[in-house]
Structure 1
Amino acid sequence: MNIYAIGDLHLSNAQPKAMDIFGAHWKNHFEKISADWKTRVTDQDVVLIPGDISWAMKLEDAKPDIDAICSLPGKKIMIKGNHDYWWGSMAKINGILHGDAHILQNNCIAVGGYVFCGTRGWTFPQDSGFGENDQKIYEREKIRLQLSLDAAKKYPDCEKIVMMHFPPIYQNMKNTEFARILEQEQVSEVVFGHLHGDILKNIYLTDVSSGGVNYNLVSADYLNFTLKQIR
């Protein structure tokens, strides 16, 4: 069993959005992702998708995008991103999933010798414009990460791999509260997305290790629209 990851698919099948407004490299981006996916992934493998799955605002509009993902090989595990406004209750989302696809929300999923946990995350108090409402979301996301990791304690012999949408470390600062939780719970790998464009030229937190945790940036454009193999 291999484990792959790619985030920020930004699909829009119901109401097509021209992604090349973000750069020519985004043209036909899902075709590139799908081609690489079908070449490398088998039904025994796991693919992690850490958020920003669909531009849709409503679940019914996100369904064609979910269908496209579900039709691809492997076990798909997804979390919510900041643009996933369509994301509703677990029951409603599970109602449209098929093809061995799953979501994480305050829970965990064990496969083989691994247990997968995750939450969306949020911006950091150090960020400009961070306000009172951001603080509430930030605190809630810390709780959700801990709940997911607590659920994983049912599988003490499994290696813990975490998905977050927002980066859990702050540029070259590794001592964030998210990082503290990840280190304390002895997580081995973290995959995250959210970062795009010019910011990638000056970012210091891509593919680094700290406190026994490996951090992997897997936003689609950073990976040139191919999957990253984690294990």
Structure 2
Amino acid sequence: MLGLTNKNEKALETMLFTIDQINPILSSTVGFTIGAHILDDCDKDTYGLEQAVAFVKGSISNIDDTDYKCLDGTVPDVRNKVISGVVGASSSVTSIQVANLLRLFRIPQVSFFSSSPELSNKQRFEYFTRTIPSDHHQVMAIVQMIRFLKWTYISILYEESTYGIKIHQLLAKVKIVEGFSLTRAVEMEKNFLFNSASVKRNVGGFE
């Protein structure tokens, strides 16, 4: 489940290449191969959730079949395409929405870009994991740089998104302990074209 930006297209191509490389080995050793069903969430959490609901309907066999009995007491033979796992989404907001759904069906989810600290809560997201550090670690790296350079006043530009807002909030909390001041914080529109001319035009530059 991807929002097909340039970075996500690269991740998609990498995954498909990996599948092509390992399938001959799986076929000759264990007698089966794996595949992928690619969906574009269009970078919208609500649309991503709609798509997740649609394809998860074909994976009800992931539910414990012993909970369901036929009239004669036998366990029904459910023949559906089984979804072994979900890779994505890239956006933390979409991953949170999808993870809340997938946990009901015990479907594991792996994200390669979702970095929200909220997703570290294993009581809520026990079937979710990721291959990227939490935003908390990114903030601590920024703080270490500020400390190393002995800055006492900083200004920040952050994107108008869950990612940007969370980073700003975490920095605002850490500054009290670390002793530096946020003299200015400017929220930029998502997908803002970032260059010196556009910054000066929209925020007047930083003095």
* Fold equivalence (TM over 0.5): no
Instruction: Give the number of the structure with larger relative contact order, counting CA–CA contacts within 8 Å between residues 6 or more apart.
Output: 1
Structure label with greater radius of gyration: 2
Point out the structure with the larger helix share. 2
TM-score of the superposed pair, with normalisation by structure 1: 0.32
TM-score of the superposed pair, with normalisation by structure 2: 0.35
